[in-house]
Amino acid sequence: MEPRQARGEHEHHHEQDGGEPADGTISRQQWTWSVLAGMASYLDAGSIVALGAGLALFQSYLHLSSGAVGALAAIGPNAIGCAIGAFIGGRLGDKLGRKRIYKYDLLVYALGIACIALAFNAPMLFVGTLVVGIAVGADVPTSLALVAEFSPAKARGKLLGFTQVAWGAGPLVVLILAYLLAPLELLGIRIVFAHLFVVALVTWALRRRLTESPRWQSASEGAKDGKDGKAKPQVPPHHRVRALFSGANLRALVWTATIYVFWNIAAGTGGIFTPYIIKTLNAGSQAASVALSAVGFAIGMIATPLLFMKYADHSHRVRRIMWGVGGVMQVVAYGAYLVFPFTVTVIILNIVLFAVGGALAGEAFYKVFSQELFPTMLRGTAQGFTFGVARTCLGVWSLFVPALASAGIRPVAALLSLFLLISAAVGFFFMPNTSGKSLEQIESERSAMSG
């Protein structure tokens, strides 16, 4: 074993006991693991936006009704398909281990992506979309739990924030490809999906070297009990699913679900429907609509390391300030559509405000708190639940967006402004203080609260 690797393993066992480096130093191995785990976010968001970029083209090619377009968006990686995967994958990740889930789910993802890329009829498109949704849904909570469990306490926000950079990179690459390939129309979109197929297989191959989370291994071994080693594992009460629905766990579940459900409806609408709405309402061409969406993700990718990753681990006070400022920016972003006409200038204003605001008060913080507020043996289950609920709500909402958009942008904008206001207010006023604490310290404090 190489000295570097030996040191890395020693650090992880030391970290497991809550003894992370005081300055939050991140090893090369931790960065590598974070990148590979973060590819779940790349593939998740990339597939959402690829579908969004090609939605109008598939609708024309396959003669889909507006209802069918809404249904397609509802069952895919943006919504219900992802929810099913999150519910199942999050729980299995806690029961069977992080590695077993992320070892195979990308192969399922690649199969679904291939089905979409080659789709020549509606059933192929719908089946592929559902399979992709289930696969990314299973991967995201499992991968994020892995990142949190090997992160130093004072760098957890930074490493989980990095997965959000990957979440922005997927759509950006997809949209740049879609923009460059726009003259090819539907063939261009097929090529975009083919790129996701290749990335998924490469990531799967690289992930095979990942090891299991030491924290999960320790918690899992602690849950086992039996005479002569042959008895079935006994699950302690605080490791059972029903433990999520009482005390501090229930409060955390309601809080994280609330901030994410309402934020995700706005983010998901923008991610999958922005090109569709711009083109449908004649505010710009297909190429222009895709380019405008790409700008938003590029800004988010820049703002996340400059703002979120830099400050998220500083203190509870800094976290609240970040959330408050970001929340206001996002409400103003969609409120602008209620005041100004739906033009390219106002669309750019919306995209810039939402991208920067989202980096400060959006999915990155949801990812952090979803890892910090729950015990190890329920961490994936909890995030799978809230992630699944959020995507289900987005799926139901997606059924109505095409019809709402056909009446103009204001009905959609008014509802999204309200949703973002709810997320911002609940996040700001009820944010728990977990900054800089080890996962063990947080779990101990919250157990005392429940007791």
pLDDT mean for each 10 residues of the chain (451 residues): 39 42 78 90 90 86 87 83 94 92 90 96 95 94 93 94 92 87 92 97 91 90 54 64 93 98 89 66 67 85 96 97 98 94 85 95 96 96 96 83 76 92 98 95 86 58
Closest CA to 148 of 365, 387, 367, 390: 367
What single letter denotes the amino acid at residue 224? Answer: K
CA 201 from centroid of its chain's CA atoms:
20
Look at residue 99 in the predicted model and tell me its pLDDT.
Answer: 86
Q: Please, are residues 140 and 2 in contact by the beta-carbon 8 Å criterion?
A: no
CA 309 from centroid of its chain's CA atoms:
16
Tokens of 217: 């291994």
- DSSP at 25: -
Sequence-distant (6+) residues with CB within 8 A of 320 are: 428, 431
CA-CA distance, 211 to 215, in Å (whole number)? 12
Look at residue 20 in the predicted model and tell me its pLDDT.
Answer: 54
pTM: 0.87
The three-point CA angle 87-373-28 to 5° equals 90
Look at residue 17 in the predicted model and tell me its pLDDT.
Answer: 41
- DSSP at 14: H
Sequence-distant (6+) residues with CB within 8 A of 129 are: 51, 72, 75, 76, 77, 81, 112, 116
Look at residue 384 in the predicted model and tell me its pLDDT.
Answer: 96
Calculate the alpha carbon distances from 168 to 28, 46, 171, 273, 410 in Å: 22, 8, 6, 16, 27
Tokens of 72: 């397609």
Q: Please, are residues 78 and 394 in contact by the beta-carbon 8 Å criterion?
A: yes
Look at residue 315 in the predicted model and tell me its pLDDT.
Answer: 97
Q: Please, are residues 383 and 370 in contact by the beta-carbon 8 Å criterion?
A: yes
Q: Please, are residues 86 and 141 in contact by the beta-carbon 8 Å criterion?
A: yes
CA-CA distance, 437 to 76, in Å (whole number)? 36
CA-CA distance, 351 to 346, in Å (whole number)? 9
Alpha-carbon torsion angle 364, 369, 370, 374, nearest 10: 160
CA-CA distance, 301 to 165, in Å (whole number)? 5
If you write DSSP's letter for every residue of 261-320 in order, what string do you get? HHHHHHHHHHHHHHHHHHHHTTSS-HHHHHHHHHHHHHHHHHHIIIIIHHHTTS-HHHHH
Sequence-distant (6+) residues with CB within 8 A of 428 are: 320, 323, 324, 327
- Residue 231 dihedral angles phi and psi, to the nearest 5°: -70, 155
Q: What is the CATH number of domain 35-209+246-449?
A: 1.20.1250.20
Closest CA to 148 of 39, 268, 33: 33
CA-CA distance, 135 to 44, in Å (whole number)? 9
CB-CB neighbours of 244 under 10 Å:
17
